[in-house]
Amino acid sequence: MNPKLKYNSDGLIPAIVQQTGSGRVLMLAYMNEFSVQKTLETGLMHYWSRSRQKLWLKGETSGNTQRVVRSFMDCDADSLLFEVEQQGGAACHTGYESCFFQQINADGTLAEIAETRVFDPEEIYRK
């Protein structure tokens, strides 16, 4: 069975990415039909960069790749969930394990960041 995914008007579908085993949400990104195809073919996460308007293999610059363990679509076929094995320890381009490292307090302020960066983004992403 090849399910018909429902992409938005920009041809994109949101993808939630979670660490296998712990279940920690690592990131949310967008995929187009080609990036979904490349991910399923290679077993490595590929995304569509909305800012750069191009396909990207997660970890192509940092080396922090994501190997797909399991893939799911939601009941409406309009979002995806991937369980991955995160290579290199950091999914976030800011150097943290997860993109969700900033806790919001009840008053709307940000809590102090309690996590340690896995890498310095200035060293990895020098332009």
Q: pLDDT of 27-47, one tens digit each?
A: 999 999 999 999 999 999 999
pLDDT score, position 127: 57
CB atoms within 10 A of CB 117: 15
Domain boundaries defined on the chain = 13-121
The pair of structure tokens assigned to 71 is 């893939």
What pLDDT does 125 receive?
Answer: 85
* 66, 84 Cβ separation under 8 angstroms: yes
pLDDT at 118 over 80: yes
According to the model, what pLDDT value does residue 1 have?
42
CB atoms within 10 A of CB 49: 12
Q: Which residue has the tokens 């979904």?
A: 36
**Average pLDDT along the chain:** 94
22 C-beta neighbours (distance < 10 Å), count: 10
The CATH class that applies to domain 13-121 reads alpha beta
pLDDT exceeds cutoff 70 at 110? yes
Does position 26 have pLDDT exceeding 60, yes or no?
yes
- Give residue-wise pLDDT tens across range 35-87: 999 999 999 999 999 999 999 999 998 999 999 999 999 999 999 999 999 99
For residue 122, the surrounding DSSP H or E stretch is helix 121-124
